[in-house]
């Protein structure tokens, strides 16, 4: 059986998992989301990055039809969440960022309750997930730590067999071991053909899990692409030790190179853009050694923010 037929994708299997065009959401005078366009392909892990207050949760709540957009269009698996809300939510699993669960219910009761609303429960899968997450389902929500409550929500999401998992800050409160287990579960879901929309402000998590990323700032997407593309846009730190005095005038004229340090024969700079022009200058000058640091996503992220602001 193919992945798409296993997931019941049917004739709409070629449609994107999520398509957002011109999404705007205002709360009175507050412009929480100011025209977002993005597309999430089927079967990918899509990282939705941004600091707190960037508009990530507002966007997600519009996807689930908990909020009504001021303008714009959302399609989830080819369906309109407003018009076809029940059909859309039957194919989505959601982990809220601000997690509030019924205090007096046990994990098992909550799993049963959500399973009845979703139309069924795979009890053995629930046990397996509880074991993997180290979760005691017999305890009441009010007795659980925030991390364990998060595990309950993750269990519900991974138990659902939904085609699209929308996870808002899913590792908040999880210890590093559980974060690792979470990433394993995400990879397994992707291998099973499911799509994961992973909203987070934790860069390392997105860096490790996501195929593509959109970076949100103040309600706008300021960058999107693969993790490698994003990293490629970041400035690289370059350290060069010349045999003689560095050719500072020639280097200063190079577009995209911002000198940070000139000390004796040591020249350090931040480089944005291709490295080839710099290499051509270096080739004309005797160089003792050179160090180019690989930019990580965090650097790319901060650069994007500085550029956007």
Footprint on this chain of other proteins (rule: CB under 8 A):
57, 61, 64, 66-68, 85-87, 89-90, 92, 94, 96, 98-102, 104-105, 109, 113-114, 116-120, 153, 156
Min dist. Cβ of residue 164 to other proteins (A)? 12
Cα separation, 255 vs 233, whole angstroms: 15
Nearer to other proteins, 139 or 187 (CB): 139
Cα separation, 18 vs 114, whole angstroms: 24
Nearer to other proteins, 115 or 259 (CB): 115
Strand 71-76, strand 287-292: pairing: unpaired
Nearer to other proteins, 76 or 300 (CB): 76
Min dist. Cβ of residue 235 to other proteins (A)? 37
Both tokens of 50, joined, read: 């941004």
**Which spans in the chain are helix H?**
3-6, 56-63, 85-90, 107-118, 123-133, 146-159, 176-191, 203-209, 227-233, 248-252, 276-283, 297-308
Min dist. Cβ of residue 163 to other proteins (A)? 13
Burial of 74 (0-12, 13-18, 19+ CB in 10 A): buried
Nearer to other proteins, 197 or 242 (CB): 197
Burial of 125 (0-12, 13-18, 19+ CB in 10 A): middle
Min dist. Cβ of residue 8 to other proteins (A)? 14
Nearer to other proteins, 32 or 304 (CB): 32
Nearer to other proteins, 90 or 290 (CB): 90
Min dist. Cβ of residue 121 to other proteins (A)? 9
User: Phi and psi for 263 in degrees, rounded to 5?
Assistant: -140, 105
Nearer to other proteins, 133 or 156 (CB): 156
Nearer to other proteins, 189 or 299 (CB): 189
Min dist. Cβ of residue 181 to other proteins (A)? 22
Min dist. Cβ of residue 109 to other proteins (A)? 7
Cα separation, 216 vs 256, whole angstroms: 24
The residue length of the chain stands at 309
The full 3-state SS of 133-173, as one line of letters, equals: HCCCCCCEHHHCCHHHHHHHHHHHHHHCCCCEEEEECCCCC
Burial of 145 (0-12, 13-18, 19+ CB in 10 A): exposed
Sign of the torsion angle spanned by Cα atoms 112, 117, 120, 126 = negative
Min dist. Cβ of residue 74 to other proteins (A)? 14
Both tokens of 70, joined, read: 């001021």
């Amino acid at each position: 059986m193919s992945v798409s037929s296993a997931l019941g994708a049917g004739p709409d299997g070629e449609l994107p998992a999520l398509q957002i065009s011109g999404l705007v959401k205002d709360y009175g005078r507050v412009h929480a989301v100011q025209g977002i366009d993005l597309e999430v392909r089927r079967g990918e892990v899509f990282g939705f990055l941004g600091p707190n207050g960037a508009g990530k949760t507002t966007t997600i709540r519009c996807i689930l039809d908990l909020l009504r957009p001021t303008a714009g269009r959302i399609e989830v698996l080819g369906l309109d969440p407003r018009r076809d809300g029940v059909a859309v939510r039957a194919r989505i699993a959601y982990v809220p960022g601000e997690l509030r669960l019924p205090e007096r219910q046990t994990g098992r009761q909550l799993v049963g309750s959500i399973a009845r609303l979703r139309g069924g429960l795979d009890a053995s899968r629930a046990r397996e997930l509880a074991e993997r997450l180290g979760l005691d389902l017999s305890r009441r929500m009010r007795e659980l730590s925030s991390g364990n409550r998060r595990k309950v929500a993750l269990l519900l999401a991974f138990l659902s067999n939904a085609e699209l998992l929308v996870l808002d800050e899913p590792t908040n409160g999880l210890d590093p071991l559980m974060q690792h287990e979470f990433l394993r579960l995400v990879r397994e879901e992707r291998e099973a053909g499911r799509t994961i929309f992973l909203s987070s402000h934790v860069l390392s998590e997105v860096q490790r899990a996501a195929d593509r990323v959109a970076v949100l700032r103040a309600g706008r997407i300021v960058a999107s692409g693969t993790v490698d593309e994003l990293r490629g846009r970041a400035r690289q730190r370059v350290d060069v030790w010349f045999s003689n005095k560095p050719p500072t005038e020639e280097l200063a004229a190079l577009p995209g190179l911002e000198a940070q340090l000139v000390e004796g024969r040591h020249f350090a700079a931040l480089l944005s853009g291709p490295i080839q022009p710099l290499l051509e200058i270096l080739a004309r000058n005797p160089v003792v050694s050179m160090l180019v640091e690989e930019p990580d996503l965090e650097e790319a992220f901060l650069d994007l923010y500085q550029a956007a602001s």
